[in-house]
Amino acid sequence: MPLTSSTEKTRLPGKVIFSQLVTPSLEVAQQFYGKLFGWQFQHVPSRGARYAEIMLNGHPIASVVERAIPPGIHDVPFWMPFIATSDVDALARKAQNGGGKILFKPRDIPGLGRETVVADPQGGLFAALTTPSGDPADETTPPGGWIWSTLLTPDPQDAGNFYQSLFGYETAPAPDSGDNAHLIAASQDYARASINPLPPHMPPNAPARWIRFLRVENVGAAAETATSLGGKILVEPHIDRDGALIAVLADPAGAVFGILEWHDQAPEGEPK
């Protein structure tokens, strides 16, 4: 199903417009996320790995691929962000020339668009996507929807330069950070993601990783529900730099994601 029904085919390069969960059990994922966020799962026939689209309020927001996790950069299930671009093929060439690794060459995915999967120079996995119908507009994120993205990386400055070269981001130090190690990446006058150093508990040479955040009405209650469904709390609920209440969780298979409580009516990301 197309990500948007708009006929305007608006392009928003740099916006994170979709996510994909790679996990060893589609059923476990469906039970966990369906109960936690009210998602609906539509199983799609596939010759290869089992696949399902995830719907929220009738709109596609993510997909799930069931397969064993190959050894390498990520050895646990993971959520992968899809970042909008107007030209996947050109982006793949830029990524490779800039030190990235192309894991899947540009290819057409029925109903979704043309994608390529890339590991950035520090190992962070993401997909770049050109949709046939244009990109979803910046609108208020409902509970259960994706509201923010953050990249944890050993080298925020280098990562910022890499992603800026691919998506045309404006990058600047995060407000009140007091340093150049915490960055905000923006496009179309909206903050799209933060780029931060690896937290102290991670080895300094650990690969980069993207974490996507979902909006919830109550972070504490959502975290408790997640644990009752077999998930884990990795970072306890706390107030972040922007005044939002957040927590970082893992699903029963180990895929990491965040939850965020935000009562303003700003759309996904935030206006600059």
Residue 272's pLDDT is: 38
Choice among 65-69, 72-76, 78-82, 84-88 with the minimum mean pLDDT: 72-76
pLDDT over 80 at 174, yes or no: yes
The CA distance from 6 to 2, in Å, is 10
What is the rounded average pLDDT of the residues 158-177? 93
The CA distance from 199 to 178, in Å, is 17
Residue pLDDT, tens place only, 192-249 = 999 999 999 888 889 999 999 999 999 999 999 999 999 999 999 999 877 889 999 9
**CA proximity to 46, closest of 18, 68, 67, 60:** 67
Residue 204's pLDDT is: 85
Choice among 88-97, 112-121, 129-138 with the minimum mean pLDDT: 129-138
Tell me if 72 sits within 8 A of 119, measured CB to CB.
no
Q: Which residue type sits at 76? A: V
Evaluated on CA atoms 82, 84, 85, 88, the torsion sign reads positive
Q: Which phi and psi (to 5°) does residue 265 adopt? A: -100, 20
**Which residues contact residue 26 at a Cβ distance below 8 angstroms, ignoring those fewer than 6 apart?**
41, 43, 50, 52, 64, 66
The CA distance from 107 to 116, in Å, is 7
**Which residues contact residue 51 at a Cβ distance below 8 angstroms, ignoring those fewer than 6 apart?**
43, 44, 63, 64, 65, 66
Tell me if 150 sits within 8 A of 210, measured CB to CB.
yes
CATH topology agreement for domains 16-130 and 146-271:
yes
Q: Which residue type sits at 163? A: Y
Task: Pick the more confident residue, 104 or 71.
Answer: 104
Residue with tokens 């590991």: 119
Provide the residue ranges of all domains of the chain, joining segments of one domain with +. 16-130, 146-271
Residue 183 in tokens: 């960055």
Q: Find out if CATH 3.10.180.10 is the number for domain 16-130.
A: yes
Q: Which residue type sits at 214? A: L
- Name residue 108's beta-bridge partners: 114
Q: What percent of the chain has a predicted confidence (pLDDT) above 70?
A: 92
Task: Pick the more confident residue, 238 or 7.
Answer: 238
Residue 180's pLDDT is: 76
From residue 93, give the alpha-carbon distance in Å to each of 98, 128, 252, 267.
9, 12, 36, 32
Task: Pick the more confident residue, 272 or 147.
Answer: 147
Angle at which helices 88-97 and 156-167 cross, to 10°: 150
Q: How confident is the model at residue 188 (pLDDT cuts 50, 70, 90)?
A: very high
CATH number of the domain at 146-271, please?
A: 3.10.180.10
Cα distance between the two ends of the chain: 31
What is the rounded average pLDDT of the residues 145-164? 97
